[in-house]
């Protein structure tokens, strides 16, 4: 006999990963699943099949996975989702359960993916020094690229949770006020529609009084997705002073639909870039060990790879961002979500936005067909992909985050 892991695992989707998703098989009810190779395992069905066996889940854990999405598992907290992951790893590796796993799963090509969780609050950060420096050089050429606060705290802003949308959702070009050469703004569709290739972090458990320490932050980070925080650069440029972006960012932010467990990224854990400033005590991760992540992303435009942003270059880590968002007493709720900010490396082909790839439009990007690219045109499709190293030389796959640009509405 062979295990389900042996039978079904594929590159990126072996038992080391087992990412979660909300899915519907053939129009049937939506349920919570996990991916092994090209199979989507119905976790509720598997829990019911094993409830009378020595490999049964506890009643609380069985309830948490017998739902349509991750909401109940996120609410159950770190102890329960750790137990579920250990149970699932054991099940897919057991020689005696291969037939059960097959009966409780569906081919990936036969399912429809849904939004994997309900977004509670959403925060977007600005954690890449390369990105922040590039933007500073373009927008403030007569000043230092980084503002004085940047290396003392993770810069971020509170976003609009309702416009975090699933991969595959088509994106209508947003409208708003755009700066004019004579100082008078004009209203209309964005002329500088852009992407931001980011990582997204899904939080679980509760901390009503906030102040989650950097040492305990990992207990609240459930999983990681690819995240495209679409940006209308011209609308954003006119509105962001003095309070920051709003309409230029809040029209849509796309996430990938397979949620990689944070626990699956232990082998991808690396040292972040060297700290150049003494950190405030609440951000000091030296005692517990930094949680930089060696995740490599790809940005594809109509199928052509135009950039490979490396998350290993992010200056601020996910636990630091959790500590920062709660240090003032702001509580955490299950389903809270934050983005890393645009991931950019030091090389041109590592930049995670067309703002940087075309240097604000001054240096157009040449595509394989010889055409010049600055900002997004209607009809173009952007896809983010990502991989990370797994244990024993394996690979952790992130699926895809995709969106196609539609013309602006005529209203």
CA within 13 Å, CB half, 411:
3
Residue where the block lists tokens 């990938």: 256
Dihedral of the CA atoms 57, 60, 62, 67 (nearest 10)?
A: -160
Q: What angle do CA 376, 378, 382 make, to 5 degrees?
A: 55
Other Cβ atoms less than 10 A from the Cβ of 134: the count is 24
Q: What is the CA radius of gyration of the chain?
A: 22
Q: Catalytic: which of 78, 131, 220, 324?
A: 131
Please indicate whether residue 131 is annotated as part of the active site.
Answer: yes
DSSP state of 191: S
Give the Cα separation of 314 and 292 in Å (integer): 7
Where does residue 236 rank: exposed (0-12), middle (13-18), buried (19+ CB within 10 A)? buried
Alpha helix stretches (DSSP H) within 125-197: 129-139
Longest dimension (CA), the chain: 75
- As a residue count, the chain comes to 411
Q: How many CA atoms lie within 13 A of 198 on its CB side?
A: 28
Q: Which two tokens stand for residue 29?
A: 């009810």
Distance CA 138, CA 382 (A): 24
Spatial contact of 144 and 362, defined as CB atoms under 8 Å apart: no
Are 364 and 373 contacting, i.e. CB atoms less than 8 angstroms apart?
yes
- Collapsed DSSP state (helix, strand, coil) of residue 223: strand
**Residue 137 gets which letter from DSSP?**
H
DSSP code per residue over 265-286: GGGGEE--SPP-SPPPGGG--T
- 335 contacts 74 by C-beta, under 8 angstroms: yes
Q: Which are the catalytic amino acids?
A: 131
């Amino acid at each position: 006999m062979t295990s389900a892991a042996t039978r079904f695992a594929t590159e990126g989707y072996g038992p080391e990963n087992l990412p979660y998703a909300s899915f519907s098989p053939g129009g049937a009810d939506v349920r919570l699943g996990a991916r092994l190779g090209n199979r989507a395992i119905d976790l509720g069905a598997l829990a019911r099949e094993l409830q009378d066996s020595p490999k049964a889940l506890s009643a609380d854990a069985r309830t948490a996975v017998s739902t349509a999405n991750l909401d109940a598992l996120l609410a159950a907290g770190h102890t329960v989702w750790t137990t579920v992951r250990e149970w699932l790893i054991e099940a897919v590796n057991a020689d005696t359960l291969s037939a059960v796993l097959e009966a409780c799963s569906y081919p990936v090509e036969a399912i429809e993916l849904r939004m994997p969780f309900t977004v509670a609050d959403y925060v977007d950060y600005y954690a890449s020094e390369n990105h922040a420096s590039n933007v500073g050089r373009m927008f403030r050429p007569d000043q230092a690229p980084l503002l004085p606060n940047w290396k003392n705290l993770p810069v971020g802003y509170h976003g609009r949770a309702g416009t975090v949308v699933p991969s595959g959702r088509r994106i209508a070009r947003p409208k708003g006020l755009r700066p004019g050469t004579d100082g008078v703004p004009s209203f209309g569709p964005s002329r500088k529609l852009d992407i931001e290739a980011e990582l997204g972090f899904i939080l679980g458990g509760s901390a009503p009084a906030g102040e989650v320490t950097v040492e305990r932050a990992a207990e609240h980070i459930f999983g990681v997705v690819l995240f495209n925080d679409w940006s209308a650069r011209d609308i954003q440029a006119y509105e962001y002073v003095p309070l920051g972006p709003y309409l230029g960012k809040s029209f849509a932010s796309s996430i990938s639909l397979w949620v990689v467990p944070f626990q699956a990224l232990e082998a991808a854990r690396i040292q972040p870039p060297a700290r150049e400033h003494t950190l405030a005590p609440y951000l000091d991760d030296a005692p517990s060990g930094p949680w930089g992540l060696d995740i490599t992303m790809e940005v594809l435009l109509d199928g052509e790879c135009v950039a490979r942003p490396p998350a290993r270059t992010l200056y601020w880590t996910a636990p630091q961002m959790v500590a920062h968002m709660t240090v003032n007493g702001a509580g955490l709720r299950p389903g809270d979500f934050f983005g890393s900010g645009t991931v950019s490396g030091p090389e041109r082909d590592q930049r995670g936005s067309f703002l940087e790839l075309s240097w604000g439009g001054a240096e157009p990007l040449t595509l394989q067909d010889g055409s010049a690219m600055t900002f997004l045109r209607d009809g173009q499709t952007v896809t983010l992909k990502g991989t990370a190293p797994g244990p024993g030389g394996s690979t952790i796959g992130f699926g895809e985050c995709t969106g196609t640009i539609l013309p602006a509405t005529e209203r």
